[in-house]
Amino acid sequence: MILDYETLKLVWWLLVGILLIGFVITDGFDMGACILLPFIGKDDEERRVIINTVGPHWDGNQVWFITAGGAIFAAWPAVYAAAFSGFYLAMLLVLFALFFRPVGFDYRSKITDLRWRTTWDWGLFISGTVPALVFGVAFGNLFLGVPFQHDEFLRPSYTGSFWQLLNPFALLTGVVSLSMLVMHGAVWLQLRAEEVIAERARLAAQISALILIITFSLAGLWIMLDINGYQIVSMPATDAMPNPLTKVVAMGENSWMTNYSLYPWMMSAPILGLIAAGFTLLLTKARRPGLGFVSSSLAMSGVILTAGFSLFPFVMPSSTQMNSSLTLWDASSSHLTLTVMFWAAVIFIPIILLYTVWTYRVMWGRVTLEQIRSNSHSVY
Amino acid sequence: MISESLVDLSRLQFAITAMYHFLFVPLTLGLAFLLVIMESVYVITDKQIYKDMTRFWGKLFGINFALGVTTGLTLEFQFGTNWAYYSHYVGDVFGAPLAIEGMMAFFLESTFIGLFFFGWDRLSKQKHLLVTFLTAIGSNLSALWILVANGWMQNPVGAEFSYETMRMEMTSFAEMFFNPVAQVKFVHTVAAGYVTGSMFVLGISSYYLLKGRDLDFARRSFAIAAGFGLASILSVIVLGDESGYEIGDVQKTKLAAIEAEWETQAPPADFILFGIPNEDTMTTDYAVKIPYVLGLIATRSTDEEVIGIKDLMAQHEIRIRNGMNAYALLQTLRSGDFTEADKAAFEEVKVDLGYGLLLKRYTPNVVDASEEQIRQATLDTIPSVAPLFWSFRIMVACGFLMLFIFATSVYFCARRSALSNRWLLKMALWGIPLPWIAAETGWFVAEHGRQPWSIAEVLPTHLSTSSLASSDVWMSLIGFIIFYTVLLVVELYLMFHFARLGPSSLHTGRYAFEQKENNDVSTSDALLPRV
């Protein structure tokens, strides 16, 4: 074992972050495109253009999400258990929305009936909108603390309700997440869709980038002014056997800002989020969607890192029994599991990136109405 | 204490969603390799018809694959949503193969499936074949990892309980990966998938042959499916996972239940071909027995015994009593106030902790269990015999029926008279559901036979659930049933639609329906009204 336990716990916090960033950069643009589908695709053929820009890639993209889920299961079983069961109805809402994706993409154009196709279009819209919103809402609730606790045998139980998740702050972070994915999807369509659609996407990208800048800043101000964070009063050594109940946690005024004064370099994350979102706005306006896509990816990375840095080392704070809060130090798997998983990630993630890039290269180019007409039976 | 209705509902939901998922998985596994075979012939011979075959069967593959992906998502979520204590208790071990499955298999399969459908005009023939091959490899690797995970539930090796973290922790990744139960399960499951793909192609090709259209296309598809199917069904039967039943206590219990072997017989044991298992009297009524066969199958020997249910229960009762002791020591260790002697004593008995936990169903404190409660828990260690006995026999019967269908198909193909045998073609067509029946009953045997455990000998099912309100699970269960029913109707509609249409659906101009009516769907597409 080359890496010690403490380092591995930290590395896995980073790796989960990387998987989430991989998820929003890849799956984010197809979800964004699905959200925009009914609005900027004016007729069936235009909608087919939009769908076919993501057609070859949505399934591979979705695996970032699945793998992030699997990695949380393996690296932070306590988080997987507490979050998925605690957010039960919200998770099922996401799941049911995601059901529309594979069938929406694959079945929609197999039948020519217009009602059939329109139904699936709205199905695809739901499949993008609901997860984008719910993920944002879930992150917002992490900042407020989640009402859950562990019993002496570490069985987690959630004592809140579904509606409680939909509080004003969490709805705001829901909009952050939604506008972020819409922006990313719009830039993608500006890059890859027939000109007429690309022009409409250009406008959508600018609007959503602006909304992202506003809501992200508002969420930041809200946290600074009105939200008490959580802080660790005492805890066992960082390389101790993980047991969430062995630490003491208290609420603290402005605790979510502590890291930024301790480690000023962490400020780079929110700054990156804001500046890159601004650049996305300018680049799409200037009809430079290629660079716009890079900048939009950076903006989303900045937003996700901001959430991670602010909460660090918390992953899921508990509002009802604060000592039950889960941190990256005490929600982790064993040293051996983290090691095995680390090597799996080191080997496979570069390979995945290589062949993913290859498939994008093969499929590169604008999807045009003409292509849809002449390949009507082989494309989506 | 966890309410019984929550446990039952969670189990029902898991059973429904997992079995529904497995309607689509075996066809994906098998059809993927049939596509590889067809496309390889295309690349080697350069005959257009093999490309058409790859594309047409690929179309049906896609319809099936979409639902495989949809329903697979549920399973990835469901351990956390509905089995939170399970996720906490074994995530350290069980999570790893799932995460590796994502990185090693899902990415491969899902990235290349896009190119399979969209890359025909953008890739050279060889490269496209490589893409198809990687898709097939990806789906088979995902079966490998999920069966490593499932095999560990049946026979949890390479892990140990830690009282500090209150969970199972991995002690050897290699031991978990090379778990013999997982390995035989993998071979059995993927071969069953190949059988499913073959039966599907064989049956639908027979339909075209019966209808007398697209004969050349159908005959070639039929021949490939017959050959691949025969090889696969032989692997399923010969390498059948029977050999996995001699390892681990729960696998032994499962075997005894499948065979309704109440008493340990003097080796080699008789095999009960038929009979009516009676759980009250613990006997099998009207049993039709074949001497020696069970002993030979189960132990591969004439002198080892197959332990019967009554003897297994006696062993389990001892382990439950040991488990109570382990539970008492665990409480001491968790309190923080313990001596080294307590720790050593716990290490001695901790293998039986799971058996102690069985009592939690009856008394939260375990250590105060009454004799009656111990008796109840002991009875719980045996899964209900009759459903296992029958499911297993249905599975085996389907297997042998398919062996007959594939063998006769190959025989008549070799004699070049498959076309003229209408009874053979009809049998192949009506035989399409067989592999699905076999797969579903097979999984029922594997998973129901594991009860009362979610992790054999480690974690009882009734402790594994999330702390949810039953009403929440009712809601999701109803949601699943409605959603899944709609999806199944849509899927079957498309499947039947395109299977009936046959290769004409490719719009190449070479197949039956296109020659009769040339103003088909392709023109009506352009006439589609604007939204």
User: pLDDT for B168-185, tens place per residue?
Assistant: 999 999 999 999 889 889
Q: What percent of chain B is predicted at pLDDT more than 70?
A: 95
What's the whole-number mean pLDDT along residues A130-149?
A: 95
Pairing of strands B167-170, B159-162: antiparallel
> CB B87 to CB A81 under 8 A?
yes
Separation between Cα atoms, residue A157 and residue A159, nearest integer Å: 6
Contacts of B99 in chain A (CB under 8 A): 67, 70-71, 73-75, 341, 344
Q: Tell me the pLDDT tens digit for each residue of B482-502.
A: 999 999 999 999 999 999 999
Residue B333: pLDDT above 70? yes
| Mean pLDDT in residue range B276-290 | 83
DSSP lists the bridge partners of residue B285 as B276
CB distance A47 to A37 below 8 Å:
yes
Which chain A residue shows the shortest CA-CA distance from B166?
A153
CB < 8 Å to B112, chain A: 60, 355, 359
> Coil, helix or strand for B272?
strand
- Region of A174 on the Ramachandran plot (φ > 0 left; ψ -120 to 50 alpha; else beta): alpha
- Going by C-alpha positions, the residue among A272, A98, A296, A103 that lies closest to residue A185 is A296
Contacts of A286 (CB under 8 A, 6+ apart): none
What the block records as the tokens of A20 is 């989430």
Q: Chain B window 491-530: which residues touch A at a Cβ cutoff of 8 Å?
A: 491, 494, 497-498, 505-507, 521-522, 524-526, 528-530
The predicted structure's pLDDT at residue A64: 95
Collapsing DSSP to helix, strand or coil, A254 comes out as coil
Provide the pLDDT for residue B520.
44
Q: Do B466 and A85 touch (CB under 8 A)?
A: yes
Q: Which of B106, B176, B484 to mutate: most A Cβ within 10 Å? A: B106
Minimal Cβ distance to A110: which of B102, B494, B506 = B494
Cα–Cα distance, A325 to A313 (Å, whole number): 10
In total, chain A counts a number of residues equal to 380
Give B64-116 pLDDT, tens digit per residue. 999 999 999 999 899 999 999 999 999 999 999 999 999 999 999 999 999 99
Residues of A in contact with B81 (CB under 8 A): 84-85, 88, 91-92
Across the range B379-403, mean pLDDT stands at 92
**Polymer length in residues for chain B:** 531
Query: Considering only alpha carbons, which residue of chain A is nearest residue B89?
Result: A77
Q: DSSP class of residue B155? A: S
Across the interface, which of B101, B107, B162 has its CB nearest the CB of A60?
A: B107
pLDDT tens digits, residue range B192-205? 999 999 999 999 99
Q: Sort A253 into a burial class: Cβ within 10 Å, 0-12 / 13-18 / 19+.
A: exposed
For residue B215, the distance in angstroms to the closest alpha carbon of chain A comes to 23
CA distance A12 to A2: 15
DSSP assignment letter at A163 = G
Dist CA A119 CA B152 (whole Å): 42
A379 assigned to some structural domain: no
Average pLDDT over residues A237-247: 89
Please, which pLDDT band fits residue B525 given cuts at 50, 70 and 90? very low
pLDDT at B507: 86
At B208-227, the pLDDT tens digits run 999 989 999 999 999 999 99
Query: What pLDDT score was predicted for residue A44?
Result: 92
Query: Is the model's pLDDT at B294 over the cut of 80?
Result: no
Q: Which residues of B touch A352 (CB under 8 A)?
A: 103, 107, 111
pLDDT value at position B444? 95
Give the closest-approach CA distance of B365 to chain A in angstroms: 12
Note which residues in 101-160 of chain B have CB less than 8 A from chain A: 101-104, 106-108, 110-115, 117-120, 122-123
Domain assignment present for A345: yes
Confidence (pLDDT) at A223: 94
A vs B, Cβ pairs < 8 A, gives 264
How would you write B225-255 as a 3-class SS string? Answer: HHHHHHHHHHHHHHCCHHHHHHCCHHHHHHH
Token pair listed for B187: 């071979």
B3 touching A (Cβ < 8 Å) = no
Cβ within 8 Å, pair B173-A55: no
**Residue from the list A78, A82, A359 with its beta carbon closest to the beta carbon of B114:** A359
Q: Between chains, do A106 and B63 touch, taking CB under 8 Å as contact?
A: yes
In chain B, what percentage of residues exceed pLDDT 90? 72
pLDDT digits (tens, 9 = 90+) for A244-257: 998 999 998 889 99
Q: Is B69 on the interface with A (CB under 8 A)?
A: yes
Domain with A105, as residue range(s), is 5-374
**Ramachandran region, residue A157 (left: φ > 0; alpha: ψ -120 to 50; beta: rest):** beta
Interface test with B, best of A61, A153, A341, A346 (most B CBs within 10 A): A153
Taking an 8 Å cut-off on Cβ atoms, the answer to whether B84 and A82 are in contact is yes
Q: What is the mean pLDDT of residues B6-22?
A: 95
Distance CA B29, CA A1 (A): 36
Kindly state whether residue A204 falls inside one of the protein's structural domains: yes
- CA of A217 to nearest chain B CA: how many angstroms apart? 32
A380 lies in a domain?
A: no
pLDDT higher than threshold 60 for residue B452: yes
How many domains in chain A?
1
Residue A83: inside a domain:
yes
| pLDDT above 70: residue B524 | no
Of B66, B102, B113, the CB nearest to A66: B102
Instruction: Name the least confident of A296-310, B96-110, B157-171, B254-268.
Output: B254-268
Please state whether the peptide bond connecting residue A270 to the residue before it is cis, i.e. omega within 30 degrees of 0: no
- Nearest-CA distance A95 → chain B (Å): 7
pTM here is: 0.92
Task: Compute the Cα dihedral for B377, B378, B379, B381 and give only its sign.
Answer: positive
Chain B residues with beta carbon closer than 8 angstroms to that of A89: 472, 475-476
Residue B367 phi, psi (nearest 5): -65, -20
Q: What is the mean pLDDT of chain B?
A: 90
Q: What is the pLDDT of residues A29-50, one digit of tens each?
A: 999 999 999 999 999 999 999 9
Give the mean pLDDT of B410-433.
Answer: 88
Average pLDDT of the residues in A106-122: 92
B521 pLDDT above the threshold of 80:
no
When the pLDDT of each residue in chain A is averaged and rounded to a whole number, the result is 94
In this model, does residue B11 exceed pLDDT 50? yes
Residues 25-64 of B with CB under 8 A from A: 55, 62-63
What pLDDT does residue B296 have? 73
Residue B531's pLDDT band, with cuts at 50, 70 and 90, is very low
Q: Which pLDDT value is given to residue B522? A: 43
Return the pLDDT at A146: 94
B142 — pLDDT class (breaks 50, 70, 90): very high
For the record, the structure tokens of A233 come out as: 């009063």
CB contact under 8 A, B107 and A379: no
Q: What is the DSSP letter of B49?
A: H
Q: Which of B170, B507, B526 sits opposite A336 (nearest CB)?
A: B170
- Report chain B residues whose CB lies below 8 A from the CB of A80: 79-80, 87, 91, 95
pLDDT of B301: 73
**Contacts for A280 with CB less than 8 Å, ≥ 6 apart:** A183, A187, A205, A209, A292, A295, A296, A299
- Residue A1: per-residue pLDDT: 54
Average pLDDT over residues B432-461: 94
Peptide bond into A313 cis (omega under 30): yes
Q: What is the pLDDT of residues A167-201, one digit of tens each?
A: 999 999 999 999 999 999 999 999 999 999 999 99
